A and B are shown apart, each in its own frame.
Chain A
Amino acid sequence: MNDTEILEQMKSIVSAKLGVEASKVSMDSRFMEDLGADSLGLVDITMELEEKFGVSIPDEDLPKITTVGSAVNYVKSKMS
């Protein structure tokens, strides 16, 4: 899976979970400030990432996932 494919899947997850149009989600979007996620929503999204991409995200890595771009890079690093 390349960056674009991961981003596209990420957009559809974020769009479904947070009710934001997929076209408004970019690599720079911050989950909390720009996309309106609260702390529960962020946990919910990371669980969905684990499910969709078959990766495991330990709690201590959660602070690294603040933007859509950081989530894409994190998932990519775990998958490789």
Chain B
Amino acid sequence: MRRVVVTGLGLVTPVGIGKEAFWNSLLNGKSGIAKISKYDMTDYPVQIGAEVKGFEPANFIEAKDIPKTDLFAQYSLAASQLAIEDGAFEIDKVNRDRVGTLISTGIGGLQTIETNILTMHNKGHRRVSPYFIPMMIGNMASAMVAIRYGLRGPSSNIVTACATSNYAIGEAAEMIKRDDADVMLSGGVEASLIPLGIIGFANMRALSTRNDDPERASRPFDKDRDGFVMGEGGVVLILEELEHAKKRGANIYCEVLSVGYSTDAYHITAPDPDGWGAKTCMEIALRKAGLKTTDVDYINAHGTSTPLNDRIETKAIAEVFGDHTPNILVNSTKSMVGHLLGAAGAVEAAAVALSIKNDIVHPSINFFESEPDFKITIAKQATKKYLKYAISNSFGFGGHNCCVTFGRLNG
């Protein structure tokens, strides 16, 4: 059977651009959440978010192409470039036909849609940009990367809301296993942290309104959590067939063992209170990886900091892992980076890969007090732990559930 490993990480995140900056922030418990700086949010009920700071598109994209590239696609090009550099992966005319892209976005070019709607309204339909459609469609996160590097393997976009990039990484690994490609650039991007996007989630009452205390607003599993904090960014992983990686002497972070999917089939936004879907995707992923529940050392939770998600995820974890539950360290990367929506699964996969490589579980910040019936062990500090197996959960609006399992190579 073909095996899949992670050999490169490219990160454009609210806590840093590039692997080192990202990982240092996570280990130090540094929040990327603050008052929104790009827009005046004075009259909005939500004024905080996790913005990417210091992103210079000119470092990644030709000047003439920047105005024709929505920010989500800019993040995709940037994260891909960083991943290829980190993985020291050389693309040539021979290998490129076996390299694919599955870099997904949950929303696509929201800013581009807004701009063109306003143009049509204010100046008439003749002024709508010829680039409107190609800038806005979400599949460009993969397509523009494929075009830049001449990658002619499979390319696609999976849209499953907040489970988008967990699905993408899981499915990209499956593509390599079934011999569709030897290497996949896979991950997620999101750039909808604009007033229209923020108010959309705010009016659902999904977001934290802790405007006066942004760094403590995202508090997964804490008793006083009041919603998630929107983030933005792009994260791309190089997934590679094991022998292909060994042959070129690649730096291997960890193995991607399996993916488990399930669907709540319950409600457009609310999770099924029974937690069947969350529980089942974990069980399927463990079974496909050939793991016992007692094998799992670490769970990177979906942990959004909404009242409902964290309650149901906690219950599902306890039901899957039973007596072993307290032995597993749980954290939520969202406590620091916010909720990157379509990029959430990817930023969390990168965190897991770095955790396994370094044998450290990063802290889950702002966990001050548990609810009485929560029976999971939250990593409140950066914790040294020999990690053999880890899982990462993502659950999306619409009831899309996805769990990806990771392992130490030959662990």
Q: Which A positions have Cβ atoms within 8 angstroms of B? A: 16-19, 40, 43-44, 47, 50-51
B109-131 contact mask (Cβ, 8 Å, vs A): 1 or 0 = 00000000000000000110111
Contact: B131 with A44, CB < 8 Å? Answer: yes
Contact: A40 with B134, CB < 8 Å? Answer: yes
Contact: B127 with A51, CB < 8 Å? Answer: yes
CA distance A19 to B130 in the complex (A): 18
Q: How far is the CB of B140 from chain A (nearest CB, A)?
A: 13
Q: Check: B63 CB closer than 8 A to any chain A CB.
A: yes
Contact: B64 with A19, CB < 8 Å? Answer: yes
Q: How far is the CB of B75 from chain A (nearest CB, A)?
A: 21
Q: Check: B373 CB closer than 8 A to any chain A CB.
A: no
Q: Check: B40 CB closer than 8 A to any chain A CB.
A: no
Q: Which B positions have Cβ atoms within 8 angstroms of A? A: 62-65, 126-127, 129-131, 134
Q: Which residues of B contact A18 (CB under 8 A)?
A: 64
Q: Which residues of A contact B64 (CB under 8 A)?
A: 16-19
Q: List 20 A-B contacts (CB under 8 A).
A: A16-B64, A17-B64, A18-B64, A19-B62, A19-B63, A19-B64, A19-B65, A40-B130, A40-B131, A40-B134, A43-B130, A44-B129, A44-B130, A44-B131, A47-B126, A47-B127, A47-B129, A47-B130, A50-B126, A51-B127
Residue pairs across A and B with CB atoms within 8 Å: the count is 20
Tell me which of B65, B127, B130, B131 has the highest count of chain A C-beta atoms within 10 A of its own C-beta: B130
CA distance A16 to B65 in the complex (A): 10
Considering only CB atoms, which chain B residue lies closest to A18 in the complex?
B64
CA distance A16 to B62 in the complex (A): 12
Q: A44-B131, A47-B127 are in contact. List 18 more A-B contacts (CB 8 A).
A: A16-B64, A17-B64, A18-B64, A19-B62, A19-B63, A19-B64, A19-B65, A40-B130, A40-B131, A40-B134, A43-B130, A44-B129, A44-B130, A47-B126, A47-B129, A47-B130, A50-B126, A51-B127
Q: Which residues of A contact B130 (CB under 8 A)?
A: 40, 43-44, 47
